[in-house]
């Protein structure tokens, strides 16, 4: 565990002295990571709005495809008319492997299909919030508990992040770090604003709005030259020294600013224009730009002396109620190419098996479409990428494309999850090195499920 005391003063001093050494640019920095260090990172990719899993993983056998197509009539009409893309059965990319012998990926996910074929990506089918194992029959007979506020964006997203309703601000990524050795004030970083997922009780998340940070007065100086008195005064003011407010809200904001300023100084030095990140970057791909900053942090780990990191990056626009055919394919392609480029860069630098990247989303969507899109569902399929992943396989059941199977939810074929977030998270946590005894603390509900079901790591 890390104490709050550790965070403030030391990292700030670190930040400024680092700036001193890097004033001449990154080329003067000595070699970054060493090959054999004990380092691991989890990268959580948020797909905001609720990914339509039924347009990503599609039955490719004739019978399955036709059954699926029946509920996607409006979308397929629009796909047929599209010049950019298709959902023609023959254009789909067969997955093969355990659990997916008859399923395929949408053409825009080609880079992921490639990772899958190379054993660097696994899929976990039908994951979502659960309180206990659940089937359609048990749910309809009111014989089991189900999570509250289903299909509400804010709450289901909060369930994914914190296993709790909205308002809870500690997530399982942060909780992992709370229980591990080798953490630092830079163990949890979001490039996507505040994300409860990465926030711990002790570990405080560094929250940035993107892969670049603005300059702060008093931090841009040439080694050897003194900071002027104005910048010095301002710097002291910004770091809140000397004033302790009686009012809780003022005290909190002072602390947030103090900490935010320190983090910004440090992060700016490590990510702005750091050439280390370039290998992961696809220009114009917003997800990829965030992943490039993640790579910069991973590659400068000898500076922040962090052995365990949790990153959050995100893409938005997945709430495809309408015009799904115009919107989703390009997002799929952005996601797939960004993840593949990131993985390739890590592999080339020898960090491939130290980093695992996985997706989360508010919920899956309905199998049965509306006039041009899909609505809120519950469970969804997710991707796990990295050198440590036992890839080329799907864990869990890719349910049949009907509205009345055992796991079908409500009237439109949304999915009642078969794998709880706890099971998905426990697999990631185990790989990350969270002690087995602590997994039950991070996931208090884990005991109600088969904790080892998501078997996606190891040989």
Partner 1 sequence: MVRSAFFALLAFWASVWSMGTQATAQDVSDEQAARFLLQASFGPEKDSIRDVQRRGYVGWLKHQMSLPRMSVAERVQESRWIKKRNFGEELIDLFWEQALFGEDQLRQRMRFALSQIVVASLADTVTSRHHEAYLDYVDLLDEEALGNYCSLVRRVSFQPTMALYLTYYKNQKADEERGIFPDENYARELMQLFTIGLEELELDGTSTGVPTYDQDDVSGLASVFTGLALAGEGFESQHNIAKPFRGELVGYPEYHETSEKRFLGTVVGPGDDAVASVHEALDHLLAHPNVAPFISKQLIQRLVSSNPSPDYIERVARAFNAGRYVAGEDVSFGSGERCDLEATVAAILLDPEARSITLSGGDIAGKVREPIIRAIHIMRVVSGDGEVSTQGLVPNYQELHRDRDEWGRQRPYLSPTVFNFYRPTYVIPGSATEAKGAVAPEAQIMTASHFAAQTTWADRCAVQRRCQINELPPPDLVPFLTIAHKPRKLVDLLDLHLTAGQLDPKTRSRIITALWTIDVRPGPDLEKSLKKRVSLAFSMVTTSPEFMVQQ
**CB-nearer residue toward partner 1: 21 or 323:** 323
Interface size with partner 1, residues (CB under 8 A): 85
Please give the Cα distance from 115 to 112 (Å, whole number): 5
**CB-nearer residue toward partner 1: 244 or 459:** 244
Q: One symbol per residue from 329 to 368: x for binding partner 1 (CB under 8 A), - otherwise; what is it?
A: -------------------------------------x-x
Asked if 78 interacts with partner 1 (CB under 8 A), we say yes
C-beta of residue 56 within 8 angstroms of C-beta of residue 380: no
Q: Interacting stretch for partner 1, rule CB under 8 A, among 9-17, 132-140, 234-242, 437-445?
A: 234-242
Interaction residues for partner 1, span 32-61 (CB under 8 A): 48-49
Asked if 404 interacts with partner 1 (CB under 8 A), we say no
Please give the Cα distance from 438 to 430 (Å, whole number): 10
Indicate the DSSP class of residue 150. Answer: T
**CB-nearer residue toward partner 1: 146 or 353:** 146
Please give the Cα distance from 209 to 191 (Å, whole number): 5
Distance of alpha carbon 254 from the chain centroid: 29
Among 140, 247, 283, 404, interactor with partner 1 by CB under 8 A:
247
Q: Which helix or strand (DSSP H or E) is residue 309 part of?
A: strand 308-315
Residue 419 backbone phi and psi in degrees, to 5: -120, 125
The minimum distance between CB 414 and partner 1, in angstroms, equals: 9
Among 97, 119, 182, 260, interactor with partner 1 by CB under 8 A:
260
Q: One symbol per residue from 370 to 389: x for binding partner 1 (CB under 8 A), - otherwise; what is it?
A: xxxx-xx-------------
Using DSSP, state whether 193 is helix, strand or coil.
coil
Asked if 87 interacts with partner 1 (CB under 8 A), we say no
- Where would I find the beta strands (DSSP E) of 40-171? 40-47, 57-59, 93-94, 103-105, 121-128
Q: Interacting stretch for partner 1, rule CB under 8 A, among 24-32, 33-41, 193-201, 282-290?
A: 193-201
Residue 333 backbone phi and psi in degrees, to 5: -70, -40
Q: What is the dihedral of CA 413, 133, 399, 424, to 10 degrees?
A: 110
How far is CA 182 from each of CA 2, 206, 301, 371, rounded to the nearest angstrom? 9, 17, 11, 52
Asked if 63 interacts with partner 1 (CB under 8 A), we say no
User: And the tokens for 383?
Assistant: 């991707």
Distance of alpha carbon 181 from the chain centroid: 22
**CB-nearer residue toward partner 1: 73 or 435:** 73
- Where would I find the beta strands (DSSP E) of 30-157? 40-47, 57-59, 93-94, 103-105, 121-128
C-beta of residue 342 within 8 angstroms of C-beta of residue 295: yes
Asked if 448 interacts with partner 1 (CB under 8 A), we say no
Residue 398 backbone phi and psi in degrees, to 5: -85, 105
Among 31, 141, 214, 222, interactor with partner 1 by CB under 8 A:
214
Asked if 131 interacts with partner 1 (CB under 8 A), we say no
Among 40, 87, 179, 204, interactor with partner 1 by CB under 8 A:
204
Max Cα-Cα span within the chain? 76
Q: One symbol per residue from 275 to 304: x for binding partner 1 (CB under 8 A), - otherwise; what is it?
A: ------------------------------
Asked if 256 interacts with partner 1 (CB under 8 A), we say yes
**CB-nearer residue toward partner 1: 264 or 385:** 264
Interaction residues for partner 1, span 139-178 (CB under 8 A): 148-155, 166-167, 169-170
């Amino acid at each position: 565990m890390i104490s709050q005391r550790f965070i403030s003063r030391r990292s700030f001093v670190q930040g400024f002295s680092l700036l001193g050494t890097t004033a001449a640019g990154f080329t003067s920095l000595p070699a970054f990571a060493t090959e054999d260090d004990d380092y691991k990172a989890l990268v959580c990719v948020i797909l905001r709005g609720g990914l339509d899993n039924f347009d990503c993983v599609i039955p490719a056998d004739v019978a399955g495809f036709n059954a699926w197509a029946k509920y996607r009539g409006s979308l397929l009409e629009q796909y047929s008319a599209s010049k950019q893309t298709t959902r023609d059965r023959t254009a789909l990319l067969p997955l093969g492997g355990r659990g997916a012998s008859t399923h395929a990926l949408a053409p825009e996910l080609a880079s992921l299909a490639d990772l899958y074929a190379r054993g660097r990506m696994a899929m976990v089918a039908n994951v979502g919030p659960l309180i206990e194992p659940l089937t359609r029959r048990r749910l309809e007979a009111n014989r089991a508990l189900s999570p509250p506020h289903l299909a509400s964006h804010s709450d289901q997203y909060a369930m994914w992040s914190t296993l709790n309703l909205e308002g809870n601000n500690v997530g399982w990524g942060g909780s992992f770090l709370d229980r591990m050795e080798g953490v630092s004030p830079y163990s949890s970083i979001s490039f996507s604003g505040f994300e409860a997922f990465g926030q711990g009780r002790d570990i405080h998340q560094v929250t940035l709005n993107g892969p670049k940070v603005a300059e702060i007065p008093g931090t841009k100086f040439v080694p050897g030259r003194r900071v002027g008195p104005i910048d010095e005064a301002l710097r002291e003011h910004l770091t809140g020294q000397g004033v302790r407010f009686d009012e809780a809200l003022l005290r909190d904001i002072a602390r947030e600013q103090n900490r935010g300023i320190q983090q910004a100084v440090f992060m700016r030095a490590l990510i702005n224009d750091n050439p280390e990140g370039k290998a992961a970057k696809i220009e114009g791909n917003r997800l990829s730009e965030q992943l490039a900053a993640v790579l910069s942090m991973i590659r400068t780990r000898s500076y922040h002396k962090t052995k365990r990191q949790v990153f959050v990056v995100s893409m938005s626009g997945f709430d495809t109620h309408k015009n799904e055919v115009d919107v989703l394919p390009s997002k799929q392609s952005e996601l797939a190419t960004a993840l593949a480029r990131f993985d390739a860069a890590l592999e080339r630098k020898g960090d491939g098996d130290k980093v695992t990247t996985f997706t989360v989303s508010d919920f899956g969507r309905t199998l049965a479409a509306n006039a041009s899109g899909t609505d809120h569902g519950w469970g969804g399929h997710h991707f796990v990428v990295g050198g440590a992943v036992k890839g080329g396989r799907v864990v869990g059941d890719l349910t049949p494309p009907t509205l009345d199977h055992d796991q079908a939810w409500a009237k439109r074929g949304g999915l009642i999850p078969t794998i709880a977030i706890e099971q998905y998270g426990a697999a990631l946590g185990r790989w990350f090195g969270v002690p087995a005894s602590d997994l039950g603390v991070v996931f208090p509900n884990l005991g109600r499920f088969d904790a080892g079901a998501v078997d996606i790591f190891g040989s």
